[in-house]
Structure 1
Amino acid sequence: MSDISHTETELRRQATVGAFAAGGGYVMWGLSVMYYRQLAHVPPFEILAHRALWSLLLVAGCVWFFGRRAQLLAVLRDRRALATLCITATIIGSNWLVFIWAVNTGRILETSLGYFINPLVSVLTGVLLLGERLSRPQMVATALAVAGVAYFTLALGFVPWISLFLAVSFAGYGYLKKTLLRVEALEGLFVEVLVIAPFGIGYLVWIAGRGGSEFMRGDALTDLLLVLTGPMTTVPLLLFTYGAQRIRLTTLGLLQYLVPTTSFSIAVWVYGEPLGHGQFVTFCLIWMGLAIFTFDSWRRERELRRLPA
């Protein structure tokens, strides 16, 4: 009996630590809008190049420190995994670039809208590519999201392409990683930044030769922020991966809203981005859809947990 009690206590402890780890990773992702906003004077391509370069060096150090070299070599020998990781590297690289550009041009609200939409886009991805069926609550939630985007387009006169691109690209990235890859996060990230880094290094060398680089120009803060884009990329992912292995999917699903909620709050209360009537109605429709979607996911998981093993 004491062994069972000890096991339950340990599981609860692991779940608590996992929740804090995953939550910390999500909050770091949300706060990253403030970080990249400090680099608004640096061209987005240069920031992306530094992000890939310093991430590669840091992840390589993590692979060595955690003794993951054998697992990495196994991935590098797998041609199918490498081909898929080249595609995911292209997707996540473009996602990073659009995100950085949007933040540095004062469009943080549109990035937060994109990450609010993302869970519903992932559901649609499952329907279109995996033949999954939508429950009635999921249909209502998706319809509200579509209505929100449509209202945004009609009210403001343009399609929220930043939001849609971030949502669709991240959903596609997640789909490929979940269905076509059986690679751990650390090894997968290493290969992805390994694919992006040569282009980034080439670009950095090219702009340095033309005198257009912002790096090593005498601004120590800018240099430090560019170097720290590596940890800003890697640390949240490692925290997320650690936490995701220890908590329930419903908890993880709720925690993911910390990212857009944090960036939304920063956009409105810190940077004073205007939240007009059209944007407010759009966000309300999306939030209603997410509330229905989250409650349905929680109810379904509860039912599954009641079933006998």
Structure 2
Amino acid sequence: MPLRHPGLGVSAASHGADRAYRGSVPSHPEAVIPAPQSSHAAVSRSGLAFAVGAYGLWGFLPVYFIALAPSGPFEIVAWRVLLSLVFCALLIAVTRAWRPFATLLRDRRVVLTMGLAGVLIFVNWQTYVFATLTEQVVEAALGYFINPIVTVFLGVLVLRERLNPTQWVAVGISIVAVVVLALGYGQLPWIALVLAFSFGFYGLIKKRVGPKVDAVSGLTLETVWLAPLAAAQLVFVAMTTGLTIGTVSVWHTVLLLLAGAVTAVPLLLFAAASRRLPLIYLGFIQYFAPFIQFLVGVVVLQEPMPLERWIGFALVWVALAVLTFDLLRGVRTSRRAAAAEPI
């Protein structure tokens, strides 16, 4: 399946935690659906519904990709790119948003930045589909569990941010978890690391464009850049193993043609949720997706979970609990500071 959220006021001491958490959520610059002008309770309920819908769909993506067998990862991702472009183009046409999109095309910096974001999300998609089709869904879920911690780590390396002691504890625990998992796997969990780092860098790249690019325009620009690569992949598949679209069954073809909607709809749901919910709600709900993926891998696909893997996952969950505690503490501190300020 990466950046702007409706911000929470945070103190300088908790700013690093807030920024890291913002980058950890698969978020998008600006909601496409405008927030309704209603009571706070109603807005919260609709926002929760949108957020749960988005993360629920992301969580069940492995089931969708498995249903596309015998299509391989190259063909699936290529169709996903091209059909997402078609879906977004139709959406822009229906909403008559061509003029603001054309304005974005004249901004060379934005176009180039979205091209780089496209490369990162392409790596992420290709790795994720490969993991799903090779029965490594549990490791893919691990990648999204450790994504918040990787985002904190990238904040130190790339943005030169300073972490507080609590955040360093979370990073340290996560490093131990990766070591334990590497010993359990007999190698580094490279799928999880590629997913976490590609999405972490994707988040950093998307933050640079800020509110200029909405969810649909962003995905459109990214897929425009990736379209030639996707077309080349389809040609390669056609010349080697052969394309499966239209050759298996009507049901298979319909599912494959839905790849664009399956990609874009959760993004739009999240964009709507991000305008209706505080960051802290999104921070908690984001774990729905990897948790569902984890259950799919363990319960449905019955992937092996030896003791060392359970220990590694437990350490990751402890690190996430530490980060969540730090976020909650920062939010409480900022609220007390805001309440103490003179009106």
Pairwise TM-score range, normalised by the shorter structure: over 0.9
Structure 1 residue aligned with 2:139:
110
Structure 1 residue aligned with 2:11:
none
Q: Is the contact made by 1:137 and 1:293 (CA closer than 8 Å) also made in structure 2? A: yes
Choose the corresponding residue for 2:215, options 164, 170, 185.
185
Choose the corresponding residue for 2:69, options 33, 40, 48.
40
Task: Show the 5 A alignment for 1:60-99.
Answer: 60-99=89-128
Q: TM-score under structure 2 normalisation?
A: 0.84
Q: Helix, strand or coil for the counterpart of 1:217?
A: coil
Alignment partners' CA distance in 2, 1:218 and 1:283:
38
Structure 2 residue aligned with 1:240:
270
Does 2:303 match 1:303?
no
Choose the corresponding residue for 1:220, options 226, 229, 250.
250
Amino acid in structure 2 at the alignment position of 1:265: L
Deviation string, structure 1 residues 92-126 (Cα, Å, up to 9, x no partner): 01100000000000000000000000001111111
Alignment partners' CA distance in 1, 2:87 and 2:56:
21
Alignment partners' CA distance in 2, 1:105 and 1:242:
33
Shift of 1:209: 6.0
Alignment partners' CA distance in 1, 2:178 and 2:69:
28
Q: Is the contact made by 1:151 and 1:282 (CA closer than 8 Å) also made in structure 2? A: yes
Pairwise CA RMSD? 1.8
Does 2:279 match 1:278?
no
Q: Is the contact made by 2:74 and 2:237 (CA closer than 8 Å) also made in structure 1? A: no
Shift of 1:156: 2.7
Q: Is the contact made by 2:181 and 2:309 (CA closer than 8 Å) also made in structure 1? A: yes
Structure 2 residue aligned with 1:130:
159
Gaps of 5+ in 1: 1-6
Structure 1 runs of 4+ aligned residues shifted over 2 Å read 179-182, 201-211, 305-309
Which protein has the bigger helix share? 1
Residue correspondences, number: 303
Change (3 A) 1:14 1:198: same
Alignment partners' CA distance in 1, 2:230 and 2:122:
11
Amino acid in structure 2 at the alignment position of 1:252: L
Structure 2 residue aligned with 1:174:
203
Alignment partners' CA distance in 2, 1:152 and 1:203:
33
Alignment partners' CA distance in 1, 2:84 and 2:276:
25
Q: TM-score under structure 1 normalisation?
A: 0.93
Shift of 1:155: 2.9
Amino acid in structure 2 at the alignment position of 1:259: A
Q: Helix, strand or coil for the counterpart of 2:158?
A: helix
Shift of 1:218: 4.6
Alignment partners' CA distance in 2, 1:185 and 1:79:
18
Q: Once the two structures are aligned, what percentage of the paired residues are identical? A: 37
Change (3 A) 1:286 1:210: closer
Q: Is the contact made by 1:39 and 1:104 (CA closer than 8 Å) also made in structure 2? A: no
Alignment partners' CA distance in 1, 2:151 and 2:96:
33
